[in-house]
Structure 1
Amino acid sequence: MNLIDYGFVPTMMPEDVSGIPARITAVHKERYELVCEYGYTFGRLKTSIYYAGGFEDFPTAGDFVLIDYNPDGDSRIVKTLKRKSFFSRRNPTPGKGEQAVAANFDYVFVMQSLNHDFNLRRMERYVTLAWQSGAVPVIVLTKADLVEDCSEQVLASQKVAPGVEVHAISTITGFGLDVLKDYLKPCKTVVFLGSSGVGKSSLVNALAGQEIMAVGDIREDDSKGRHTTTHRQLIMLPGGAMIIDTPGMRELGMLDDVSVGLGETFSDVVSYLGRCKFSDCRHQTEPGCVVRAAIERGELPKERWESYLKLKREANFSDDKEGYLRQKQQWSKKMKKNGGIRK
């Protein structure tokens, strides 16, 4: 088994650490499926190392790790190697920071279906997260067979995601699938980001040329589907490309630092910032505000400006909330240590 086929680059290996490199292909609570030079195996965390640090270092689907290989049982995962890209969500445990849900991917397929699911504000959110991850976003509009003409939706998507490629596809007719294969080169990894029922499992099956994932039913009243992914996994396609599928993707929210993602997604908005008459302009009623003038002239859509502000506020709130939860947790520990007496 050659780990290079799974995207491993020898320069990923740190010089001062020993171990066998491996890639996480699936996560089952406290047990991991791995692939390494000895083939497929299972592993568990070396708790003395991982639980001393933060949850963001816990390995997830797509991670490259170092293991103490055990041919007779579960290997020990001793280190998570540096990630080139990753998605994370707020850890369910208050004050525990972020939790990675997918790592080391090259492209993010931001998926929306051309039915009731199509939503430009949600698209802006997902594209922002995709840019922030360190990978390249690609917008994939699914279920093109449900509409006679999707040119309007394609154009609208291009306007809210400057510089991002937009492709309409149908897994029923095969329309547009050949274009997606340009991203699915050997050793490349793609992660899907989209709502339930958008057709992620159907696309995996279409690209693989066989049914390897269950497809959920769609509710007719709102076009929403049931989540069919039950654990995080990395799927190797016949052509050598890989797809990461994870149930945690639907829980992604704005985290504290999304400056890169916002700057890329809202490059049209950002181009007006810093050009106002006053450096501390709040872009409300101040004289000489370039942003408000651009909106009034019709150069900058008001919806874009409001969406930018909403996502930025959400990121700031997330940062404040996490800081509050950390302080609260530290205070609780201090209170217990002092027997519940304030000092």
Structure 2
Amino acid sequence: MIEQHRSGYVVSDGPDSAGFPVDSLPEWQRPRFPPEQRPGVGDWLLIERAGSRDKVVALLPRHSAIKRGAAGEHYKQQLIAANIDTVFVVCGLDADFNPRRIERYLLLVRGGAEPVIVLTKADAALAADPEAVALATGALVELSQGIQVRAVNARDRDGVLAALSPWLGPGRTVVLVGSSGAGKSTITNSLLGSDRMKTGAVRESDARGRHTTTHRALIPLPSGACLIDTPGMRELKPTGEEDIGENFADVEALAEQCKFRDCSHHREPGCAVRAAIEAGKLDPQRFANYLKLREEVAGAANKLANRRAQKSEEKVLGKALNKRLDEKYGRH
């Protein structure tokens, strides 16, 4: 599937296909149908070609998916993209630069897809303060736990291709995520070699941009890869399925060295985490973000467990009711 709209889906049967609309299965339109189980951009669908309107027969299994917790009081998941090989986490080297937000993105995109941090606006940042760029890039390399970091001028096509080509081989699928104004659509245009995606200016006061990308779309690239551009996401809530230790292995390794197993890392004697912070070996803001994200993941995991238990109970009650009706009315 190459486009997802509120009114339906657009699919393609090959790299040279312009795409065509399809009707979804009736159950996908039910209000209580789980949103993350509906097709998303990057999904593979089995299509029945019949008459003037094609129909979806089935959603094929995914090998990876990027999801976030949907806004609202009740637990829901929102699918960002499916069947992804690489996730480019895009952040500008301006007022948009925020290591804590990057940590949050990395938490959500792990699992089946390789994350790569892409820092845009490197040309302007280097001209203003090259030492600051070096420090920012170095800090990201340290916190990213082995994740690749690339700094680019998003408008320099040759530079973008040189930096990102290792992840853009034939048959690969890449998704761009990041805040509005970070340069995702500009990167897309550079990789395409044409101004296909609309771009906009950012506010000088906070370097934030408008949502120039209004929907997710899968685009074939000249290299043979497929690229998914996404709208900027202001809210990044965990689903409860994330592994906090995968992105904060350094913090959890320190916690294992604490004198007490139930150490809260506040004032207990023999706390390895506090010792690392005081020695300048662990960024206190990174540790604070670790605690915040760990609490959010735990809260989301609890809501997810309650939701699954409720659905299981409803299923049991439904079977019991059907059995009683069968016995009463002799249905077989």
Q: TM-score, normalization: structure 1?
A: 0.80
8 Å contact kept, 1:54–1:96: no
- In the alignment, what sits opposite 2:148? 165
Q: Does 1:58 align with 2:58?
A: no
Counterpart residue type for residue 170 of structure 1? N
Distance in 1, matches of 2:277 and 2:236, equals 30
Distance in 2, matches of 1:221 and 1:248, equals 18
8 Å contact kept, 1:145–1:172: no
The answer to which of 279-288 and 36-45 deviates more is 36-45
Residues 93 and 312 of structure 1, relative CA distance in 2, 3 Å threshold: closer
- In the alignment, what sits opposite 2:121? 143
Alpha-carbon RMSD across the aligned residues, in angstroms, is 2.9
Distance in 2, matches of 1:196 and 1:248, equals 4
Distance in 2, matches of 1:206 and 1:255, equals 33
The answer to which of 227-236 and 286-295 deviates more is 286-295
The answer to which of 64-73 and 121-130 deviates more is 64-73
Q: CA deviation at 1:199?
A: 0.8
1:278-336 Cα distance to aligned partner (Å, 9 max, x none)? 3222222333333223333333232221111111112223345667889999xxxxxxx
Q: Does 1:190 align with 2:174?
A: yes
Q: Does 1:35 align with 2:12?
A: yes
> Secondary structure in 2 aligned to 1:139?
strand
Counterpart residue type for residue 163 of structure 1? G
> Secondary structure in 2 aligned to 1:176?
helix
8 Å contact kept, 2:121–2:153: yes
- In the alignment, what sits opposite 2:210? 226
Residues 313 and 49 of structure 1, relative CA distance in 2, 3 Å threshold: closer
Residues 95 and 328 of structure 1, relative CA distance in 2, 3 Å threshold: farther
Residues 99 and 171 of structure 1, relative CA distance in 2, 3 Å threshold: closer
- In the alignment, what sits opposite 2:49? 69
The answer to which of 142-151 and 46-55 deviates more is 46-55
8 Å contact kept, 1:96–1:326: no
Q: CA deviation at 1:276?
A: 2.7
> Secondary structure in 1 aligned to 2:300?
helix
8 Å contact kept, 1:139–1:166: yes
The answer to which of 76-85 and 319-328 deviates more is 319-328
8 Å contact kept, 1:94–1:325: no
Gaps of 5+ in 1: 1-23, 330-343
8 Å contact kept, 2:178–2:232: no
Q: CA deviation at 1:245?
A: 1.7
Counterpart residue type for residue 197 of structure 1? G
> Secondary structure in 1 aligned to 2:12?
strand
Alignment of 1:40-119 (within 5 A): 40-48=19-27, 51=30, 53-73=33-53, 75-91=54-70, 95=74, 97-119=76-98
Q: Does 1:306 align with 2:288?
A: yes
Q: TM-score, normalization: structure 2?
A: 0.82
Number of aligned positions between the proteins: 305
1:246-304 Cα distance to aligned partner (Å, 9 max, x none)? 22744432221211xx3232121121233333322222233333322333333323222
Percent sequence identity over matched residues?
40
1:46-89 Cα distance to aligned partner (Å, 9 max, x none)? 1146748522210010011222233521x222322222221223
Gaps of 5+ in 2: 312-332
